[in-house]
C-alpha cells in the first residue's frame, strides 16, 4: 500500500468470519526525511462505524456517573502528566513532529476539533451533540480540577492559605495562645508572579501549536 500511492488496489478483509473484497485508492503523502522516506507513500484512513446505543433512564444515569468518574480520573492523570508533555508539544510545534492525540491542546484546538466533528458526514446529529456535550463537560471538569491546585492566583492557593490560617488559629486556641495574625500573602507575590508567567507561556505555546500544527482527528 505504501508503495502504491494513487493506484487502485483490491484488499481482502475478514470480518465476523466472512471474507470481503474492497477496492480503494491510497492517497499520496509527501515523504518525511527523518523517517528515511525518499518517495511519496500511499496512505489510507480507517474510520469505525458510528452506532447509537439506546439505554433505559436508569442505565443512562448509571453510565453517566461511570463516564463522569472516568473523566475525573483522566483529568487528574492529565494534570500530573502535563509537565512531561510540554517537550513533545514544543517538538511538534517547531520541529515538524506529529501532534499527540492525547497531548496538550488549547482553546483554539478544542474549537477546531469541535468544528471538525460538527462538519463530519460520518455521524448523525445525535452523535455530534453528544460529542459536543462530552467535550464541554471534560473541559469544565479539567479546568475545575486545575483551579484547585494549591498555587496562587488559583482558587486552590487561596483555599490552602485559608486552611493554614485555620489550623494555626485552632492550634493557638488549643494551646490557649493569642490568635495569630493572618498569613501575609504579600510574601507569596514572587511565587504568584512565577505561576502567572508559566501559565501565560503555556497558553502562548498552546496557541502557537494549534495554529502552526493543529491537532487532526478522524470523524
Closest C-alpha to 210, from 128, 111, 114, 139: 111
Mean pLDDT value of segment 174-184: 86
Three-state SS at 109: helix
**Cα–Cα distance, 131 to 125 (Å, whole number):** 10
Which residues have CB under 8 Å from 55's CB, separation 6+?
63
pTM for this prediction: 0.68
- What tens digit of pLDDT does each residue of 52-72 get? 778 888 988 998 899 889 989
Task: Count the residues in the chain.
Answer: 219
pLDDT value of position 156: 92
> What DSSP designation does 49 have?
P
Backbone angles phi, psi at 27, to 5 degrees: -80, 145
Other Cβ atoms within 10 Å of 72 Cβ, number: 15
What is the tens place of the pLDDT at every residue in 76-126? 888 888 888 888 888 888 887 778 777 888 888 888 888 877 777 777 787
Amino acid at each position: 500500500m505504501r508503495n502504491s500511492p494513487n493506484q487502485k488496489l483490491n484488499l481482502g478483509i475478514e470480518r465476523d468470519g466472512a471474507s470481503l473484497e474492497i477496492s480503494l485508492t491510497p492517497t499520496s503523502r509527501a515523504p518525511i526525511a527523518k523517517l528515511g522516506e525518499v518517495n511519496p507513500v500511499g496512505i489510507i484512513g480507517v474510520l469505525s462505524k458510528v452506532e447509537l446505543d439506546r439505554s433505559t433512564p436508569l442505565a443512562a444515569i448509571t453510565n453517566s456517573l461511570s463516564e463522569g468518574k472516568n473523566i475525573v480520573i483522566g483529568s487528574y492523570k492529565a494534570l500530573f502528566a502535563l509537565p512531561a508533555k510540554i517537550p513533545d508539544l514544543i517538538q511538534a510545534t517547531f520541529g515538524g513532529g506529529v501532534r499527540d492525540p492525547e497531548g496538550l491542546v488549547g482553546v483554539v484546538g478544542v474549537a477546531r476539533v469541535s468544528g471538525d466533528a460538527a462538519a463530519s458526514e460520518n455521524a448523525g446529529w445525535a452523535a455530534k451533540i453528544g460529542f459536543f456535550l462530552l467535550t464541554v463537560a471534560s473541559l469544565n471538569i479539567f479546568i475545575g480540577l486545575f483551579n484547585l491546585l494549591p498555587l496562587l492566583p488559583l482558587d486552590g492557593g487561596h483555599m490552602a492559605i485559608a486552611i493554614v490560617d485555620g489550623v494555626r488559629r485552632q492550634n493557638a486556641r488549643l494551646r490557649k495562645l493569642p490568635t495569630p495574625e493572618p498569613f501575609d500573602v504579600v510574601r507569596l507575590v514572587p511565587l504568584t508572579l512565577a505561576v502567572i508567567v508559566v501559565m501565560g507561556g503555556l497558553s502562548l505555546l498552546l496557541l502557537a501549536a494549534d495554529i502552526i500544527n493543529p491537532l487532526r482527528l478522524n470523524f
